[in-house]
Amino acid sequence: FILISCFTKVSAQLPTLTLTQWPNTSTTFNYPVLVTNCGDSRTFVVQRNGYIYIVDSLGNKLSPAFLNISALTDYGNYNEEGLLGMAFDPDYKNNGYFYVNYTGSDDNPGPTHIVRYSVSSSDPNLADGSSAFEILKIYQPYVNHNGGMIMFGPDGYLYDFQGDGGSGGDPSNRAQNPDSLLGKILRLDVHGASPYAIPATNMYASGGGRPEIFDLGVRNPWRPSFDRITGDLWIADVGQNAYEEIDFEPAGSNGGYNYGWHCREGLHSYASGAADCNGTIGLTDPIWEYSHSGGFCSISGGYVYRGAQFHDLWGRYLYTDYCAGVIYSLLPAGGGTWNNDTLGSFLTNTYSSFGEDSYGELYVCAHNTNKVFKITTNDCKPNAYILQSSTGGVCEGSPLQALNGIGLSYQWQLNGSDIAGATSYEYLPVNSGVYSVIVTKNGCSDTTATNITIHSLPSVSITSVDTICNTSNSITLTGNPAGGSFSGVGVSGNTFNPDSIGLGDHTISYFYSDSNGCSNSTSKNIFIIDCTGIGNIDAVSSVQIFPVPNKGEFTITIQSVKSQQLVLEIYNSLGQLQMKKRISVVAGKNVSEINMGKAVSGVYRYIIKGNTSLRNGSFVIE
């Protein structure tokens, strides 16, 4: 290796890896290129030949495949084509969306397709193959350097990692060309406009290049990953003839990095004399590089270990080289330097990819033997980590969460004393204080503590009319505190248009999140009545119903400014007419007895109509 840092890690806790065939010694896959998860106990294995399989919590490889798009993919004889990536929507539990990246059979070379699919509405272990919705198509000039990794970042945007289009040396200078999507990291808002919107902070969101671009200057980023705890982005980028590199982008970055290809390969000049490299400044250095001497050829990026099982792996970024069969780790050494450790040599396999399950445990895919291995160590000590440690607070009604792991036991403490019954990885705190959790595995324990403040939820309300005519203009809705968002049928921004929807009760909702990240919502019904042909002259000054609530029998007292004929209409909450009655009134006080018979309990609306009068209100039948 040629190293950026000359420091060598010396530690009694240096992990020794064991690779155990997973889920068992009799289960294999065809061209496995990714292991991923949707946030539950299932694990998904992506195969380059177009299949995605589920392995359940009992270790069973389920059949049929979760998704089969083998007819759409072009994986041929080239290791860099086919189904290459999969990402689950952050709201997959509710919307059922997931995304795939594959090279298609619809052209030669196969273009990149980023496509959204939905899970079956009747079977959570099957995708709906007819639900394909194409997000983006990118034509590829050659069969290699397709990148293929897609994943959602901590910001909720979809990241796509594109190679430079292939051949060798980036012959058409695509990686440095802002008008090409090749050789770039793309960032898309797939929850905005259809098929996607552009995040405002993308590199060329305001012009000067393709607005999808987040970073540029990569050759073939192979298996980047986000640190699930810190949000940092790790990018393993495959080199040309001499150097492999690892790039690092800190959490919260708005992108705009140029990682240098093809002007540089790693830290070394490559095509610096090319027209697109003349005067290039502001290139971002890799945090690590190594040379091809010693039989190395192609980096396979991995993950920072954030699982609960192995204390000695915590915080280490694992990676390998396709030609070496050795797994290494990077660990910060301070001052911007890094320690590189050899964790294990497994020379019988060529490892193409790593993977991560919902618990943060890691896997590695052996492309030459079609096997997947789970990564373990012999460390008995688990990891105790409270996920809310970085914020120092939780919102009222939200649990504290430690890292969850199979076979672990937990004990929560408040201010140093055990909390009775608090033996799950989650605990719902009531009072602020110093919370700690003790995590135990096979008699070995780890503990951590953090000061937690319980933040109250914001008090939220809506100010608006209760009843409105269908002929009225749009009304302005007011939410308290200001700065939240309204939703509901007939709502656009902070206005409500009664003319666009039907009569009856309509629910509007208001959502607000405060500076602590605590949110609350409230709802209010607005009743739309038919006012066609009725003016707004106030010939009725007041209306009273007694008693309230009632059982469908009540008196209605009408204070009228003149003698007139009125019509009383009573509607249920669905806007269905329940009673219509003519009432003759004189100037002054008028009392009428009303009997609605066997009316069901609920909120009712009344409307009193006259040629020049209109009054409305509500009452409750119990």
Domains and CATH numbers, the chain: 20-216+298-377 (2.120.10.30), 394-455 (2.60.40.10), 461-529 (2.60.40), 540-621 (2.60.40.10)
| Token pair 């983006």 in the structure block, residue | 136
Beta strands 540-546; 553-560: pairing state: antiparallel
The tens digit of pLDDT for each residue in 256-286 reads 999 999 999 999 999 877 777 876 678 999 9
> What per-residue confidence (pLDDT) applies to 309?
98
Question: pTM higher than 0.75 for the full model?
Answer: yes
Taking a C-beta distance cutoff of 8 angstroms, is the pair 213, 181 a contact? yes
DSSP 3-state of 188: strand
Cβ atoms < 10 Å from Cβ of 281: 5
pLDDT of residue 278: 73
pLDDT of residue 316: 98
- Cβ neighbours for 420, distance < 8 A, ≥ 6 positions apart: none
CA distances to 155, 228, 248, 465, 492 from 232, rounded to whole Å, are 12, 8, 7, 48, 37
In this predicted structure, what is the pLDDT of residue 5? 34
Give the model's pLDDT for residue 538: 61
Q: Average pLDDT per run of 10 along the chain, which is 622 residues long?
A: 34 83 97 97 98 98 98 81 98 98 95 98 98 98 96 98 96 96 99 96 97 98 98 98 97 95 95 75 93 95 98 98 95 94 92 97 96 97 94 92 98 98 97 97 97 96 84 90 95 90 88 96 88 61 92 94 89 88 92 93 88 79 94
CA–CA distance, 567 with 584 (Å, rounded to integer): 9
394: tokens are: 């939780």
pLDDT at 534: 57
Is the preceding peptide bond at 211 cis, omega within 30 degrees of 0?
A: no
Report the Cα 603 to chain-centroid distance in Å.
39
- Residue 146's nearest CA partner among 218, 253, 95, 243 is 218
Query: How is residue 620 written in tokens?
Result: 């409750």
CA distance 124 to 128: 10
Q: What is the pLDDT of residue 74?
A: 84
CA-to-CA separations, 620 to 313, 570, 606, 614, in angstroms, rounded: 63, 12, 11, 21
β-sheet bridge partners, residue 495: 476, 492
The pLDDT, as a whole number, for residue 176 is 96
Maximum separation of any 2 CA atoms in the chain, in Å = 105
